[in-house]
A and B are shown apart, each in its own frame.
Chain A
Amino acid sequence: MKSFLLSFLNFNESASGRVVPPSGFTAQLTVITAAAMGFLAVFALALSMATGRLADRWGTELARGSTVRISAPADQIEAQTEAALKVLETTPGVAEARLLTAEEETALLEPWFGPDLPLDTLTLPVLIDVQETSDGFDAEGLRLRLAGEAPGAVLDDHTRWRRPLVRAAERLRLLGVVSLLLIAGVTGGMITLAANAALAATAQVIRTLRLVGATDRFIASAFVRRFTFRGFSGAVIGTVFGMIAVALLPSADEAGGFLTGLGFSGMQWLWPLLIPVLAALVAFVATRVAATQTLRRLM
């Protein structure tokens, strides 16, 4: 296994690429670094996609759900509930308004108080679940009407806590994208440094090649091919390990629902396959620029 990996890391290119001497440990280091970057890129991509899904879900699902809580003296609670339901039924933009059952309230409180909650011994507010139409309703107008018809009714449209959450999820998605760009930049920088080091170390070889009639394109292509392959092969290794690691992450249920499945779903699994291609592209451009500049400087 070890010899297989080492031979893979020392992969020699085509016959024309042989004019560039093997660079031993530097070559392995380039592949290993590209692999690490590929691995990190998978996680950045997974983070970006998961937070994207989170933001979408919070942005759409929660935006359509509101709650009316009625806290009133026991003798008024039934009347105020009926009044509130009537107000809701006649409010434009409300698709459905229904009283939560005792079982539903128990389910809501279960995470905090446990499954054996004696609901009948607690004084709990009455909760009305309100679902909006796609057009939504005028929250301020509804609050005023409820205040008039059912003074104990309080409308909670989740805006206060939903907006920061959606904003946070969007920021996380942006951070994921920024991380991907940084990883691409670091990969490009690393490959540029490695290519420059290889070019500097082989200045004598380059002089000999120029002496026998090699064009800049020929010399540069030998380096470009080598580093593009290293960037690509390293990124393939890192991406494969990254995808395995993401696949082995706890599922959304096990994680308690909050992470909502950090990773990829469905066709999203195809996205990480672009990472080696992009790594090869970054390596190609970085090495080409480095080689062209160095060759012009050398002679």
Chain B
Amino acid sequence: MIEFHDAGYGYGGRELLTEMSLTLAPGSFHFLTGPSGAGKTTFLKLCYRELEATAGRVSIFGEDTRQMERDEVAELRRRIGVVHQDCQFLDHLNLADNVALPLSVSGRERDDRDLDDLLNWVGLSDQAKARPPELSGGERQRAALARAVIMSPEIILADEPTGNVDWEMSLRLLQLLIELNRMGKTVVIATHDLHLIRQAKAQVQARVLRISNRRIQQSGADL
């Protein structure tokens, strides 16, 4: 599904990630760990072609990301749901419109009942008309997750989704991501929260990818 072939990324003459070779299989669940500044966000950005590998090759759904045209990148992102730590919303639209944004930009019909179900799933049905600035950190994270999955993507990438929320909310978000994985979605969560990883491992077969010294180490890494 996502393949790194000896891939690397550098910027301004500095190598941030190097010699990465791994495959994220369909339906797999991965945690991406490493110290702050190790390159977790950079790795995720390579996974949805926000960044382009400067060495080696990254393939997503069998396509070499460096060969992709801009429109193809847009198409690719409709198949990948991304949840950022600093959830970005359009503040002039209400929550429901923000969650339905991927449908709007891809020209798909919006089914209000499906949207209600989705908001209910993330526990935000009462906030449908609220504007993003009115939401708490946890609500924003759940809204971002709802937006990430509304197109029923094959891959969910979450960058520190529990970074700004309390433990209870972290567990709730984790539970939602595990549910998505059980529905067959590939999930990659970047986090440095080892408690969260241990909590997940009790419920799902999760692999850990650890970034250390600009290289990525696969499962079996020391937690």
Partner-B contacts on A (CB < 8 A)? 15-16, 18-19, 21-22, 204-205, 207-218, 299
Q: Please encode chain B, from 62 to 99, with 1 for each CB lying within 8 Å of some chain A CB and 0 for all others.
A: 00000000110011111000101000111111000100
* A211–B77 touching, CB < 8 Å: yes
Q: What distance in Å separates the Cβ of B143 from its nearest Cβ neighbour in chain A?
A: 12
* B74–A208 touching, CB < 8 Å: no
Across the two chains, which residue of chain A brings its CB closest to B91?
A21
* A215–B90 touching, CB < 8 Å: no
Which chain B residues lie closer than 8 Å to A211 at the CB level? 50, 77, 82, 84, 88
Across the two chains, which residue of chain A brings its CB closest to B87?
A208
Which chain B residues lie closer than 8 Å to A218 at the CB level? 74, 105
- Residue from B70, B84, B90, B106 with most neighbouring chain A CB atoms (10 Å): B90
Interface residues on B, range: 20 to 34
Partner-A contacts on B (CB < 8 A)? 50, 70-71, 74-78, 82, 84, 88-93, 97, 101-102, 104-106, 147, 151
* A212–B77 touching, CB < 8 Å: yes
Which chain B residues lie closer than 8 Å to A15 at the CB level? 104
Docked pose: A15 CA to B78 CA in angstroms: 20
Interchain CB contact (< 8 A) of A18 among B50, B71, B93: B93
Across the two chains, which residue of chain A brings its CB closest to B48?
A211
* A216–B89 touching, CB < 8 Å: no
* B92–A208 touching, CB < 8 Å: no
Which chain B residues lie closer than 8 Å to A213 at the CB level? 74-78, 102, 105-106, 151
Across the two chains, which residue of chain A brings its CB closest to B89?
A208
Across the two chains, which residue of chain A brings its CB closest to B77?
A213
* A212–B101 touching, CB < 8 Å: yes
Q: How many A-B residue pairs have CB under 8 A?
A: 58
24 pairs, CB–CB < 8 Å, chain A vs chain B: A15-B104, A18-B93, A19-B101, A19-B104, A21-B90, A21-B91, A21-B92, A205-B90, A208-B88, A208-B90, A209-B101, A209-B105, A210-B77, A211-B77, A211-B84, A212-B78, A212-B147, A213-B77, A213-B78, A213-B106, A215-B71, A215-B105, A218-B74, A218-B105
Across the two chains, which residue of chain A brings its CB closest to B71?
A215
Docked pose: A205 CA to B76 CA in angstroms: 19
What 9 pairs across the A-B complex have the smallest Cβ distances?
A213-B78, A214-B105, A213-B77, A21-B92, A212-B102, A215-B74, A208-B88, A213-B74, A215-B71
Q: What distance in Å separates the Cβ of B200 from its nearest Cβ neighbour in chain A?
A: 25
Interface of A, secondary structure class, is helix
* B104–A216 touching, CB < 8 Å: no
Given contacts A15-B104, A19-B105, contact A214 B74 (CB under 8 A): yes
Docked pose: A70 CA to B117 CA in angstroms: 104
Across the two chains, which residue of chain B brings its CB closest to A216?
B70
Which chain B residues lie closer than 8 Å to A16 at the CB level? 104
Q: What distance in Å separates the Cβ of B146 from its nearest Cβ neighbour in chain A?
A: 12
Which chain B residues lie closer than 8 Å to A204 at the CB level? 88
Which chain A residues lie closer than 8 Å to B105 at the CB level? 19, 209, 212-215, 218
Which chain A residues lie closer than 8 Å to B76 at the CB level? 213
Interchain CB contact (< 8 A) of A22 among B84, B92, B102, B151: B92
- Residue from A16, A22, A207, A214 with most neighbouring chain B CB atoms (10 Å): A214
Q: What distance in Å separates the Cβ of A17 from its nearest Cβ neighbour in chain B?
A: 11
Which chain A residues lie closer than 8 Å to B77 at the CB level? 210-213
- Residue from A15, A18, A211, A214 with most neighbouring chain B CB atoms (10 Å): A211
Docked pose: A210 CA to B93 CA in angstroms: 16
Docked pose: A19 CA to B101 CA in angstroms: 8
- Residue from B84, B89, B102, B104 with most neighbouring chain A CB atoms (10 Å): B104
Q: What distance in Å separates the Cβ of B119 from its nearest Cβ neighbour in chain A?
A: 17
- Residue from A18, A21, A208, A217 with most neighbouring chain B CB atoms (10 Å): A208
* A210–B89 touching, CB < 8 Å: no
Across the two chains, which residue of chain A brings its CB closest to B88?
A208
* A216–B90 touching, CB < 8 Å: no
Which chain A residues lie closer than 8 Å to B70 at the CB level? 215-216
Docked pose: A50 CA to B104 CA in angstroms: 51
* A210–B104 touching, CB < 8 Å: no
